[in-house]
């Protein structure tokens, strides 16, 4: 007999925490090295509008998830095609920088229009 495979069940609260909170840095909590790369400054939205990420030129960001009271905010660092958001609460979220798109915790964000 094959062992049964269990599929994890993720509730809404856990998903929201993952999207905007991330996990503690896998590098022992240290800040990633900075590489001079242009930041994707501006407002980024998920296709369904549930996730919004405002990236500012001063190295800070503000994030919102629909249905969540607390906004995530903090600083970001860019290392090549990876941007790491460091929330004021101490949590880290990895964001992959693509051409005209950001990927964060399974969400694809595009520049806001207008």
- Compute the mean pLDDT over every residue in the chain, rounded to the nearest whole number: 78
Which contacts (CB < 8 Å, 24+ apart) does range 94-97 have? Answer: 94/22, 95/53, 97/37, 97/40
Per-residue pLDDT, 33: 43
pTM above 0.85? no
Q: What is the DSSP string of 53-99?
A: EEE-TTSEEEEEETT-SSPEEEEEEEETTEEEEEETTS-EEEEEEET
pLDDT at 30 over 50: no
pLDDT band at 6 (very low <50, low <70, confident <90, very high): low
How far is residue 8's CA from residue 107's CA, in Å, rounded to a whole number?
19
CB 40 within 8 A of CB 61: no
Closest to 92 in 3D by CA, of 21, 15, 32: 21
pLDDT band at 111 (very low <50, low <70, confident <90, very high): very high
CB 43 within 8 A of CB 111: yes
Would you state the CATH architecture of domain 12-111? Beta Barrel (2.40)
CB 92 within 8 A of CB 100: no
Query: Would you list the domain boundaries of the chain?
Result: 12-111
């Amino acid at each position: 007999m094959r062992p049964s495979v269990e599929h994890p069940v993720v509730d809404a609260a856990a998903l929201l925490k993952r999207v905007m909170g991330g996990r503690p840095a896998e590098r022992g909590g240290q800040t990633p090295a900075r590489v001079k790369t242009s930041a994707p400054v501006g407002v980024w939205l998920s296709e369904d509008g549930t996730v919004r990420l405002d990236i500012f030129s001063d190295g800070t960001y503000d994030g919102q998830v629909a249905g969540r009271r607390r906004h995530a905010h903090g600083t970001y660092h860019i290392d090549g095609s990876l941007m790491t958001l460091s929330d004021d609460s101490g949590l880290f979220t990895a964001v992959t920088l693509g051409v005209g798109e950001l990927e964060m915790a399974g969400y694809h964000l595009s520049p806001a229009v207008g």
